[in-house]
């Protein structure tokens, strides 16, 4: 009687504990997901075309008198070339250049004299050079060279840095045509640098030298005065560390290669320096080689980035660098991205994402700024990060910025930050961290916008750039410059082939390179006028044609911001899993149209109140592209400098229209599909189906037209198709869940009815045994006694079939990896329990009935949530409804836990509490050991990638960039740790499950 009274109490306590644990799990899950959004202060852009103005032909320069110097000689040569390349000259002029004894880096100058006798008067050489280059730019832009006559011209921001452009990058259409190389490595100079001695191909080096000199001349003429060159550790021998051979032995090929690199590339970098470009080596931290990593691990016990002495090794490398290459002005450091996607395969120079704490960053900067002060060099530190580690949000979070940089106020330190509160996307607020701090600051811009199809679409950023610069300059007097990414950013060969000065329609993003530098010099300049200058320089002198191009470019931002973004979502700051996802997301990085439920469902949830507006953005963008095309098509081909550029412009707009057509259909499709999950509306389902058919057609047309085209590549629709395939199965899976749930309910009802004198029906005893063992596991032995062969078969088969069916339905029958792990885990668990029962010589049927019966109850819960709109609806609620998610997770966890409790209770009746606990612990340990080792052997990243590709839960592109484990901050050895923990649990469980001899009994026997 006492036992019968206590059992309901124990059941109640067990369920209460399981539910409490379920609540805890739901809370932790919700907290880790952290999905929320808030309004964002997105700057508005209003673009207009400049008034139609006639082109101004240059006069002939009958005499140019300037002091002899390499810099002035090059500037005068640029002026001569500009005049020579004009269609005609108008009048004549002389030019005298006067250079005073003032600071050599003073860029100010006065334009004096008369319209036919100009005089540039500058305090230093930099000003004189700048004055000549400005005259050359006016000639190329068909502006009057006397527009600043009688004025003093100065640059508001003195520091204006460009990247390396496409120098040293081989134009190989086949590499771009594949479209699946997401490496961020440019492979610049890949044909110059050899794997073996002599390490340098002199013929390829000469070709690269010519390219580099042309590029240097180009950016100097545009107004840049610094250059960021990838590289650093490749030039080091580390001969100043220890005895000189502590890192690299005397015969180490890294030494010979470093010396060869210095000898080969040094003259190129010196050329840039001598002509007025400050040269900065651009590197990730940590940069490593195999011997260097081995030395650091031996010396410091690992990559001890928080140890100041650790950074002395790299500081010694900087001392060596500046001694060997005194024309290098500093180093530019990024800590926020690293890994295989940035490295060159087969090249023993690689990066690690290892500087991820405040203490590590401060230790690094303290060492590097101290070295820079001693060497009279500069350190440029980028605040950018992909969000990994404790400093992952210093780019966007003022508190994190202060935690990292407050107190580090060396004048040799420059902090470089992207102008957006995030990456180079539209629909982002301006970056308010540029308004704080005592450090010198520069603002980063990207011309060839990687996330907006790498500059292949017209994209005039002048108004946005101007707003950013005006705001930052007004707010922070320490803002002193810009860094323009003229070419770099993102994967080089997964987008359109466009290489500055070399290949593709590179003139299109060149507009933003010109806008950035001219607005840096004069933030109040008219962006529309700069766009008109760009049009005259590269395309046409004809005022009507220039006006048409200007009107087309004035529509470019509408096309970009509506066509590539979903406005109601993009205009809010969204937070998830500790990160701040970008405003695009449905196109997950570059050209990958995503199909994952996490992103698409959250976009719908954020846009829910403005769904029509979200959908209408697609047609609006298409209309803008059509207007742009009409403007360009209406121009006379003969009015263009090169009619082929008009054809290229039209081809670009055709490509944009094709892209936007399928994207418009796709956005309608996935938003309507989510609406169906949300409302269960038949009208929404029909709208989804219509949009699906439209998308299939427009996507097929896009792929047929552009697949394999290196200059206008088709978007990557792999992930989108994974999502569509699953969406098409949602309704069939919902019906499958409904039918399976009815069968399951019938089976349970059959088992309940069998208790009322119907036990002789076929299979009734098995149904009854499962029901009783699931709800009253202490009776499992009683109800499984003397089962017949059919009942025993059903006791195993029924839960197995329901388990397989439910998991198959949950995964659309498209995720083999999920089925292998889930079904396999249950199989291993059951086998482990059965083995221990066999060793104990106890029947297995009571435990099988308890496990199977409790599992069927858990399966019923899963099927119930799959019945409304299938697996897609299940995940929709998971991502978008925190309350529903928490309730489900709480109950589902408790139901899962009850399977373990029921099994344990049934075991305890036969083995006793201790041995039953041991059996359960060993069985759970076996699951962890087997599948932990299995996943670890496959590779955790590889296993997660396969699972995610099949389930379409998280963006497909995650593993193609940094990796799922990096983004989610999952340690690489997690699977092995789980396997080891499983082995420990097996050992402990077996020890508990074995019969123990009591000491008193052993003594009596003795």
What CATH number does the domain containing 67 carry? 3.30.379.10
What is the SS3 assignment for 226? strand
Alpha-carbon distance values, 87 to 82, 533, 542, 634 (Å): 10, 16, 12, 23
One domain, residues 134 and 166: no
Is residue 872 situated within a structural domain? Answer: yes
One domain, residues 164 and 149: no
Q: Give the Cα-Cα-Cα angle 465, 467, 473 (nearest 5 degrees).
A: 95
Q: What is the pLDDT of residue 1004?
A: 41
Is residue 542 situated within a structural domain? Answer: no
Are the beta carbons of 276 and 162 closer than 8 angstroms?
no
| CA end-to-end span of the chain | 40
Predicted TM-score (pTM) of the model is 0.93
One domain, residues 235 and 138: no
Q: What is the pLDDT of residue 646?
A: 98
Q: What is the pLDDT of residue 621?
A: 98
Q: What is the pLDDT of residue 340?
A: 60
One domain, residues 435 and 477: yes
Is residue 805 situated within a structural domain? Answer: yes
Rounded Cα distance between 398 and 403, Å, is: 9
Is residue 55 situated within a structural domain? Answer: no
One domain, residues 138 and 183: no
Q: What is the pLDDT of residue 346?
A: 66
Rounded Cα distance between 492 and 494, Å, is: 6
One domain, residues 667 and 764: no
How confident is the model over 336-363, as pLDDT tens digits? 887 665 455 668 899 888 999 999 999 9
E strands present in 71-182: 92-99, 109-114, 117-122, 152-153, 159-162
How confident is the model over 711-755, as pLDDT tens digits? 999 999 999 999 999 999 999 999 999 999 999 999 999 999 887
Point out the domain boundary residue: 658, 681, 716.
Answer: 716
One domain, residues 513 and 407: yes
Is residue 1006 situated within a structural domain? Answer: no
What is the SS3 assignment for 554? helix
One domain, residues 755 and 900: yes
Is residue 960 situated within a structural domain? Answer: yes
Alpha-carbon distance values, 143 to 121, 134, 541 (Å): 21, 11, 11
Q: Domain range holding 123?
A: 60-153
**Nearest CA among 806, 817, 672 for reference residue 734:** 806
* β-strand pairing of 572-575 with 36-39: antiparallel
Point out the domain boundary residue: 682, 716, 750.
Answer: 716
Are the beta carbons of 352 and 288 closer than 8 angstroms?
yes
Alpha-carbon distance values, 591 to 14, 178, 415, 496 (Å): 51, 13, 31, 10
What CATH number does the domain containing 192 carry? 3.20.20.80
Is residue 762 situated within a structural domain? Answer: yes
One domain, residues 361 and 404: yes
Is residue 530 situated within a structural domain? Answer: no
* Total tally of structural domains belonging to the chain: 4
Q: What is the pLDDT of residue 388?
A: 66
Q: What are the backbone dihedrals phi and psi of residue 153, each rounded to the nearest 5 degrees, phi first?
A: -105, 130
380 forms beta bridges with 332, 414
Max Cα-Cα span within the chain: 125
One domain, residues 172 and 224: yes
One domain, residues 132 and 12: no
One domain, residues 830 and 959: yes
Q: What is the pLDDT of residue 5?
A: 60
Give the residues of the chain that fall short of pLDDT 70: 1-5, 339-346, 387-389, 756-759, 998-1006
**Nearest CA among 221, 235, 225, 220 for reference residue 189:** 235
Point out the domain boundary residue: 101, 127, 153.
Answer: 153
């Amino acid at each position: 009687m006492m036992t019968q009274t206590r059992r309901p109490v124990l059941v109640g306590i067990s369920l209460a504990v399981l539910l409490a644990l379920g609540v805890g799990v739901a809370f932790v899950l919700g907290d880790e997901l952290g999905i929320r959004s808030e309004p964002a202060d997105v700057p508005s852009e209003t673009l207009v075309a400049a008034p139609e103005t006639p082109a101004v032909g240059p006069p002939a320069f009958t005499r140019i008198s300037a002091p002899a110097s390499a810099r002035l000689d090059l500037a005068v040569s640029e002026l001569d070339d500009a005049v020579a390349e004009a269609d005609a000259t108008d009048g004549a002029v002389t030019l005298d250049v006067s250079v005073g004894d003032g600071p050599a880096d003073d860029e100010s100058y006065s334009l004096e004299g008369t319209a036919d006798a100009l005089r540039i008067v500058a305090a230093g050489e930099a000003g004189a050079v700048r004055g000549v280059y400005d005259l050359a730019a006016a000639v190329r832009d068909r502006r009057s060279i006397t527009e600043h006559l009688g004025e003093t011209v100065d640059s508001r921001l003195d520091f204006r840095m460009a990247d390396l452009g496409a120098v040293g990058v081989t134009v190989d259409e086949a590499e771009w045509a594949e479209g699946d190389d997401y490496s961020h490595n440019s492979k610049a100079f890949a044909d110059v640098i050899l794997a073996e001695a002599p390490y340098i191909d002199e013929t390829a080096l000469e070709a690269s030298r010519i390219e580099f000199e042309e590029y240097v001349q180009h950016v100097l003429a545009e107004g840049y005065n610094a250059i960021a060159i990838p590289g650093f550790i490749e030039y080091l021998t580390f001969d100043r560390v220890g005895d000189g051979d502590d890192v690299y032995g005397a015969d180490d090929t890294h030494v010979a290669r470093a010396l060869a690199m210095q000898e080969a590339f040094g003259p190129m970098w010196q050329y840039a320096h001598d002509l007025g470009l400050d040269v900065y080596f651009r590197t990730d931290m940590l940069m490593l080689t195999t011997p260097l990593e081995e030395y650091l691990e031996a010396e410091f016990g690992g990559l001890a980035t928080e140890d100041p002495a650790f950074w002395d090794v790299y500081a010694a490398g900087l001392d060596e660098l500046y001694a060997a290459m005194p024309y290098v002005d500093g180093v530019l450091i990024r800590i926020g991205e690293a890994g295989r996607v940035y490295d060159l395969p087969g090249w023993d120079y690689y990066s690690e994402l290892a500087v991820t704490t405040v203490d590590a960053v401060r230790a690094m900067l303290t060492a590097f700024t101290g070295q820079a002060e001693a060497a009279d060099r500069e350190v440029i530190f980028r605040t950018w990060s992909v969000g990994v580690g404790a400093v992952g949000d210093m780019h966007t979070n003022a508190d994190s910025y202060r935690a990292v940089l407050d107190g580090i106020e060396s004048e040799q330190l420059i902090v470089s930050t992207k102008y957006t509160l995030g990456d180079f996307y539209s629909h982002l607020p301006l970056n308010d961290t540029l308004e704080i701090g005592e450090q010198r600051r520069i603002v980063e811009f990207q011309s060839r916008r990687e996330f907006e199809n790498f500059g292949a679409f017209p994209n005039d950023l002048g108004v946005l750039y101007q707003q950013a610069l005006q705001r930052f300059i007004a707010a922070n007097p320490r803002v002193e410059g810009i860094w323009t990414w003229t070419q770099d950013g993102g994967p080089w060969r997964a987008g359109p082939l466009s290489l500055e000065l070399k290949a593709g329609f590179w003139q299109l993003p060149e507009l933003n390179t010109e806008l950035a530098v001219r607005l840096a010099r004069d933030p109040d300049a008219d962006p529309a006028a700069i766009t008109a200058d760009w049009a005259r320089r590269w395309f046409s002198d004809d005022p009507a044609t220039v006006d048409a191009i200007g009107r087309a470019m004035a529509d470019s931002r509408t096309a970009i911001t509506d066509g590539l973004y979903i406005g109601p979502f993009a205009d809010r700051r969204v937070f998830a899993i500790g990160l701040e996802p970008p405003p695009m997301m449905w196109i997950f990085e570059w050209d990958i149209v995503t199909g994952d439920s996490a992103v698409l469902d959250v976009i719908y949830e954020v846009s829910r109140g403005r769904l029509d507006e979200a959908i209408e953005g697609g047609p609006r963008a298409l209309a803008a592209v059509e207007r742009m095309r009409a403007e360009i098509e209406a121009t006379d081909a003969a009015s263009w400098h090169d009619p082929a550029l008009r054809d290229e412009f039209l081809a670009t707009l055709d490509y944009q229209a094709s892209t936007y057509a399928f994207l418009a259909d796709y956005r309608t499709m996935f938003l309507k599909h989510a609406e169906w999950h949300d409302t269960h509306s038949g009208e929404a389902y029909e709208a989804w189906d219509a949009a699906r058919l439209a998308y299939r057609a427009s996507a097929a047309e896009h792929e047929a037209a552009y697949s394999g085209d290196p200059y206008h590549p088709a978007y990557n629709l792999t992930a989108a198709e994974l999502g569509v395939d699953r969406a098409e199965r949602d309704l069939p899976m919902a019906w499958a869940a409904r039918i399976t749930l009815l069968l399951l309910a019938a089976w349970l009802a059959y088992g309940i009815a069998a208790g009322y004198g119907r036990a002789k029906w076929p299979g009734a005893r098995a149904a009854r045994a499962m029901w009783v063992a699931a709800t009253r596991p202490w009776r499992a032995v009683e109800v499984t006694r003397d089962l017949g062969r059919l009942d025993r078969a059903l006791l195993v088969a029924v839960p197995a079939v329901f388990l397989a069916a439910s998991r198959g339905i949950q995964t659309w029958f498209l995720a083999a990896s999920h089925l292998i792990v889930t079904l396999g885990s249950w199989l291993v668990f059951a086998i482990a329990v059965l083995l221990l029962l066999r060793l104990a010589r106890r029947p297995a049927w009571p435990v099988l009935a308890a496990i199977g019966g409790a599992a069927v109850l858990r399966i019923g819960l899963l099927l119930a949530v799959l019945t409304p709109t299938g697996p897609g609806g299940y995940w929709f609620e998971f991502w978008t409804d925190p309350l529903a998610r928490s309730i489900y997770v709480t109950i589902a966890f408790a139901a899962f836990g009850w399977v373990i409790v029921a099994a344990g209770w049934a075991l305890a009746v036969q083995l006793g509490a201790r041995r039953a606990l041991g059996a359960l612990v060993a069985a759970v340990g076996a699951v962890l050991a087997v599948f932990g080792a299995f996943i670890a052997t496959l590779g955790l990243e590889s296993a997660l990638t396969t699972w995610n590709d099949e389930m379409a839960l998280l963006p497909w592109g995650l593993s193609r960039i940094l990796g799922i484990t990096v983004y989610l901050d999952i340690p690489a050895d997690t699977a092995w740790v789980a396997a080891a923990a499983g082995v420990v649990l097996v050992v402990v469980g077996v020890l508990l499950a074995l019969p123990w001899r009591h000491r008193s009994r052993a003594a009596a026997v003795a």
